[in-house]
Every structure is written in C-alpha cells, then in structure tokens.
C-alpha cells in the first residue's frame, strides 16, 4: 500500500460518545463515518497504539487511550498483533494528521478508516477516565455520523453487558495453521512494508534462524484471540507451533502428540466458554499447560475456581505485579476485565504465584503436582515491558522435564 499524502488529510465533522448513564462527550470525528457500540474502557499505555488496536481481546470494547497524542507514528505491517483491528471504536485527546516515522505505511486515521472504525478526538479524556474509575466500565456508543445524542444513549442502554458474553468463538481462527515466524529484526522492518509483511531481509533472517535452530518442542496453541507476538516468542524459544480454533476437541489436540499446550488471551467473559474448560480438564496432567489472560481464567475454572468482573479492568503496559516465588516486582502489560477469585481455588492443589500490587487481585498460579501454570497478564509485551518473558523459558523447561 502506498503512503497517502498526510499533509492533505483533515478531520472534519463532529462526533459524540454516549454512555449508558446518560453522560455524553462531544468532540471531532476521524476514522470511519459510522457508529459503533461496546463496553467503554481506558488503556494507560504510553506507546504501542497499533498493538492495542489489533489485540483481539478488545473485541466488543470502545478504547480510550489516556496518552494524549496518538497517531504520530502512523501504522505499519509489522506492529499488527492480528490481521485487523478489533476495537469497536477509539477515543483520544489529540489524533495526529501526520505520520512521521520511517516504518509507517499509512496514517493511523487512514488505517482505522479502512477498517470502518470510528474515532472521536479533541475531548477531555481525563474526565472520561475519572468517570469510568468512579462508576466502572460502561456500555457506550460512539458516533461520527451525526446521530442525535439522546438516541445514542438509548442505543447504549440496549447493548448487551460484557458479563455473560462468550466472544472467543467470534475472534478465533476458522481452521488450524502452523506458525513459523520468529521475532522480526528491526533492520528487516523497512523491507516488509513493500512485500506484504515478508520482505527480503525478514526472509533471510527467518531462513538463518530455521537453519541454526531446529524446533525442539511441539506446541499446540488454542486461539481464543491470540496475539502474533506470543507466537513469535514461542518460535524464538524453539517451538514448532500449531494454532487451533478455540473449540478444538482435547482428543484432537492430544492426537497431535504435543510437548505442551498453550492457552491464549481473548475477549469476553470466561464463564460462558464452557467448551474450553471441558477441554482443559481433559488435557490436564497429560502434557504441560501454559495459559495467559483468558487462558489463565479458563485454567482457574477448570481447577474448580470462580471468576468475577473487575470494576473497570486492567488495561495498559505499566501494571506492577509481585512474583511471590522470587519476591521480585514485574512491570506488566495487561488487558482484561475479569479475574480469578483466589479464595475459590482448592488450596491443596493450587499455589498462587503472582499478585497485582494495585488492587491485590490474582495474577498467576500453578498446580502443585501437575505441569500447569498460568498468568493473568501478557508476557509477550506487545506493547509493554519485557519483564515477564522468563515465563516462556519456564514453559520450555517444563516441556523438557516432561518429554516422553
């Protein structure tokens, strides 16, 4: 795709964000001219807005970014965490009309417009975040098509609550596939822009990696809304990765004779994802299991625990988590609205390993006798810090110990 002339772009027209409690925020329109509804949440990341846009865990949600200036580095192929954006709509303070970065292939505005995602900007995002922190996440409708505010409030109130929604089936892959790409060297990034995501430098680096490092572990990854950097890091850690749809039967997974099973992140309420809980119970004890985010919550349910909805969720790349095994504090990337109740887990079988230092909620656990562990946050760090990448080493060590 050829970069458009960013200096000729303009954001014209008005936009409105209407919340179910009747509060309306008015601003300027960008992105697509339409209206979209969902649960309104805020993300505190300072960088990595394209990774946020393309995280499938945001399906069904309107995202407000607290960092005030968004869009200045444009959009590119390498920073996508899935083939398209999954946010319902975007709320920002200032939305740049200019993409100023050597990796950009188009502006953020053109990127979101292409995927029919509306944007409201030039609003007081601080006021919106304070409101959500006080009353909790709310259903809302964002309109750039001129719809009357009162009608938008009524539409917001008619939306389904996030609690009770099973969204993993909505975002999962249609069929299984192999993933072979590792992390992309920064030097290869520019070449990817003109080659559909696989430039000559990337291909050379990938060929070298394949020649030097033959995969040692066969991993089956359940796709509940998986991010591509998770898959890249699994490849970096010597894994031959096959991604399967969310509802794939445990028997089919075990028939592939994996060394380990990975349970991905994903959107929605974990409790309605009963098919996944049933499959996890059949896999437990057979091969090592590593779960993150929704995968962590599903592990909790499979172990007999319960989950609950957080007031406004954890969304950002700056959340402090204490590792109770090492006594170290990790700065983590998070994106979830539900949590595992640690008191509901059988203490005879499960050990809590990580604790959120903001609200003391559960951030990690491991089984005391079975090869199974999970964390609530995103160790792949897209976007975010790399403090938790040791968990991928932990997974490969667990697979090495339990190899037949």
Are 217 and 145 in a shared domain?
no
Question: Is 141 among the domain residues?
Answer: yes
Are 78 and 214 in a shared domain?
no
**Phi, psi values for residue 252, rounded to 5°:** -70, -35
Among all residues, which ones are annotated catalytic? 293, 378, 380
Are 154 and 222 in a shared domain?
no
Are 192 and 132 in a shared domain?
no
Question: Is 163 among the domain residues?
Answer: no
Q: Is the pLDDT of residue 198 over 70?
A: no
Query: Can you give the CATH number for the domain in which 64 is found?
Result: 3.50.30.20
Question: Is 93 among the domain residues?
Answer: yes
pLDDT bucket at 184, cuts 50 / 70 / 90: confident
Give whole-number Cα distances, 8 to 11, 99, 104, 107, 118, in Å. 10, 12, 17, 12, 20
Are 125 and 35 in a shared domain?
yes
Could you write out the DSSP letters of every residue in 52-121?
Answer: HHT-GGGTTEEEEE-SSEE-TT-B-STT-SSSS---SEEE-SEE-S----TT-SB-HHHHHHHTT-EEEE
Are 154 and 180 in a shared domain?
no
Q: Is the pLDDT of residue 156 over 80?
A: yes
Mean pLDDT score of the chain: 91
Are 52 and 201 in a shared domain?
no
Q: Cα angle vertex 210, ends 207, 212, to 5°?
A: 105
What token pair was written down for 392?
A: 């991928």
Long-range own/partner contacts, residues 282-286 (CB < 8 A, 24 or more apart): 282/250, 282/251, 282/254, 283/250, 283/253, 283/254, 284/367, 284/370, 284/372, 285/370, 285/371, 285/372, 286/254
Q: Is the pLDDT of residue 187 over 90?
A: no
Please report where in the chains the tokens 């580095």 appear, as a residue. Answer: 73
* Cα 387 from Cα 404, distance rounded (Å): 31
Q: Is the pLDDT of residue 332 over 80?
A: yes
Please identify, among 158, 184, 209, the residue that sits at the C-terminal boundary of a domain: 158
Are 102 and 184 in a shared domain?
no
Q: Are strands 69-70 and 94-95 parallel, antiparallel or unpaired?
A: parallel
**Phi, psi values for residue 2, rounded to 5°:** -80, 140
pLDDT bucket at 205, cuts 50 / 70 / 90: low
Are 93 and 238 in a shared domain?
no
Q: Which domain holds residue 382?
A: 168-401
Are 346 and 382 in a shared domain?
yes
What DSSP state is assigned to residue 185?
P
Nearest of 208, 173, 165, 172 to residue 338 by alpha carbon: 165
Are 39 and 87 in a shared domain?
yes
CA-based end-to-end distance of the chain? 48
Are 191 and 332 in a shared domain?
yes
């Amino acid at each position: 795709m050829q970069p458009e002339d960013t200096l000729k772009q303009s954001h014209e027209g008005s936009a409105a964000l209407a919340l179910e409690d009747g509060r309306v925020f008015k601003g300027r329109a960008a992105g697509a001219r339409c209206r979209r509804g969902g649960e309104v949440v805020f993300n505190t990341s300072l960088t990595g807005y394209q990774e946020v846009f393309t995280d499938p865990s945001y399906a069904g949600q309107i995202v407000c970014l607290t960092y005030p200036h968004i869009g200045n580095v444009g959009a590119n192929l390498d920073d996508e965490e899935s083939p398209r954006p999954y946010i319902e709509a975007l709320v920002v303070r200032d939305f740049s009309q200019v993409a100023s970065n050597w990796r950009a292939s188009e502006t953020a505005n053109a990127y979101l417009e292409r995927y029919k995602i509306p944007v409201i900007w030039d609003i007081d995002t601080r006021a919106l975040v304070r409101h959500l922190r006080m009353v909790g996440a709310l259903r809302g409708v964002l309109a750039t098509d001129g719809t009357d505010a009162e009608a938008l409030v009524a539409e917001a109130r008619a939306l389904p609550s996030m609690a009770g929604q099973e969204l993993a089936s909505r975002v999962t892959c249609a069929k299984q596939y192999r993933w072979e790409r590792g992390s992309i060297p920064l030097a290869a990034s520019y070449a990817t822009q003109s080659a559909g995501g696989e430039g000559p430098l990337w291909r050379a680096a990938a060929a070298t990696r394949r020649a030097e490092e033959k995969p040692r572990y066969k991993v089956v990854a359940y796709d509940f809304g998986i991010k591509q950097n998770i898959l890249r890091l699994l490849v970096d850690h010597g894994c031959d990765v096959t991604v399967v749809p969310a509802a794939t039967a445990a028997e089919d997974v075990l028939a592939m004779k994996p060394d380990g099973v990975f349970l991905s992140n994903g959107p929605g309420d974990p409790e309605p994802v009963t098919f996944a809980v049933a499959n996890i119970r059949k896999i437990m004890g057979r091969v090592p299991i590593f779960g993150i985010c929704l995968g962590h919550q599903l592990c909790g349910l499979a172990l007999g625990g319960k989950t609950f909805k957080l007031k406004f969720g954890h969304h950002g790349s700056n959340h402090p988590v204490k590792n109770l095994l090492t006594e170290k504090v990790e700065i983590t990337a998070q994106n979830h609205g539900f949590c595992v109740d640690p008191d509901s887990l059988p203490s005879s079988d499960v050990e809590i390993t990580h604790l959120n230092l903001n609200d003391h909620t559960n951030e990690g656990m491991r089984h005391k006798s079975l090869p199974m562990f999970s964390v609530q946050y995103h160790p792949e760090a897209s976007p975010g810090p790399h403090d938790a990448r040791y968990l991928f080493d932990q997974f490969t060590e667990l697979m090495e110990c339990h190899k037949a």
